Amino acid sequence: MNPETLPAAPEPGVFSSHKITDQNGRSLPYVFCPSENPADPILIKFHGWVGNNDRRNLSPLVHAERNWNVIHPLDRYGLNRMGSWWLGDQGDFFFLDLIDCLINELREKYKLTGDLYCYGTSMGGFGAALHGMRHSARGFVLNMPQTCLIGTTLTQGMWGFLKYVFGVDDEYLQSSACLEDNKPELETLLHHTDLTRQVLNLNSNYSPVFHIIQTRYDATDRGHLKNTYLSEQTLRFVNALIKKNLPFSLSVENATGHYIRWSIQDAFRILDPTHHQPDEYLSSKKS
């Protein structure tokens, strides 16, 4: 990976734009808003589908908390560059390496030593959970996250975009039967597209906390979700958290829609490291 020249001393509380580029010329633009203290916690904000060119997506960073180091990468891949679910294109999930490089480079360059937290909405919720769990993030704030990209109603409705990301056009992946599949040839795809599998395979010593908010009727204007989103994307994931005895909060609002419910300022408040897990839970995990 080749990061561009980064400023030696970024101004705290002010965001600046940068990018990293891999050996194949694939770049990852990002915005970085440093804290006054490199030991403060790190929050990575993952935007939702088609949120990569919306200037309004960046404006909240102007008001980022001074005691947080905030990183906001931009997913400009996928069909028509509308977003790749933070995976990559055509079955090449190069975003795994790009996010690895981004985190490692910023930690090294700016001596960031704080714990990692992740925040995301919709497709960004998928990216936040996917990459956060890979990097042992301590906590997550997820707005109506997409947690399973295969075998769901969402898969069927977004198949034109998902098949471009997956690099395969197999109707079987739109069927719920594939969720229980263990075919070796599908192992990599299934592992990276179904976050429930990842939760169930987490190390028992890793205990992140998940804060999730969801509307009761999550139907988009296209109408393709058919009100199955809550059961297929949220509750299935939460059941995996329960099986792993992981801490979480879940808020289901009696509303219709698919939109941001918790802002980044809400995420700072919710993820305050001083109260992110109950004492009795921490004690039980240590014993």
Which pairing describes strands 69-73 and 42-46: parallel, antiparallel, or unpaired?
parallel
In CATH, what number is assigned to the domain containing residue 264? 3.40.50.1820
**CA dist 109 → 102, 112, 131, 188, 209 (Å):** 11, 8, 20, 32, 28
More confident position, 79 or 66: 79
pLDDT digits (tens, 9 = 90+) for 91-124: 999 999 999 999 999 999 999 999 999 999 999 9
Query: Longest Cα pair distance anywhere in the chain, in angstroms?
Result: 52
pLDDT given for residue 221 in this prediction: 41
pLDDT given for residue 188 in this prediction: 84
pLDDT given for residue 109 in this prediction: 92
Q: What angle do CA 186, 190, 192 make, to 5 degrees?
A: 125
Q: What angle do CA 13, 108, 11 make, to 5 degrees?
A: 20
Please state, in angstroms and rounded to a whole number, the distance separating the CA atoms of residues 89 and 91: 6
pLDDT given for residue 271 in this prediction: 92
**Number of other CB atoms surrounding residue 210 within 10 Å:** 24
More confident position, 143 or 182: 143
Q: How far is CA 176 from the centre of its chain?
A: 23
pLDDT confidence band for 287 (50 / 70 / 90): very low
Kindly state the average pLDDT of the residues 52-67.
Answer: 59
Q: Which residue range forms the structural domain that includes residue 163?
A: 2-286
pLDDT confidence band for 17 (50 / 70 / 90): confident
Please state, in angstroms and rounded to a whole number, the distance separating the CA atoms of residues 20 and 6: 10
pLDDT digits (tens, 9 = 90+) for 238-285: 999 999 999 999 999 998 888 888 999 999 999 986 544 555 544 455
For the chain, what percent of residues have pLDDT higher than 90? 59
Domain total in the chain: 1
- Is 219's pLDDT higher than 60? yes
For the chain, what percent of residues have pLDDT higher than 70? 81
- With a CB cutoff of 8 Å and minimum separation 6, the contacts of 235 are none
92 close to 167: Cβ distance less than 8 angstroms: yes
Strand order in the sheet with 69-73: 2-3, 16-21, 27-33, 69-73, 42-46, 116-121, 139-143, 209-217, 248-256
pLDDT given for residue 204 in this prediction: 92
pLDDT digits (tens, 9 = 90+) for 70-81: 999 999 999 998
Which of 100-104, 205-209, 213-217, 227-231 is least confident? 227-231
Query: Quick one: tokens of 229?
Result: 């989103």
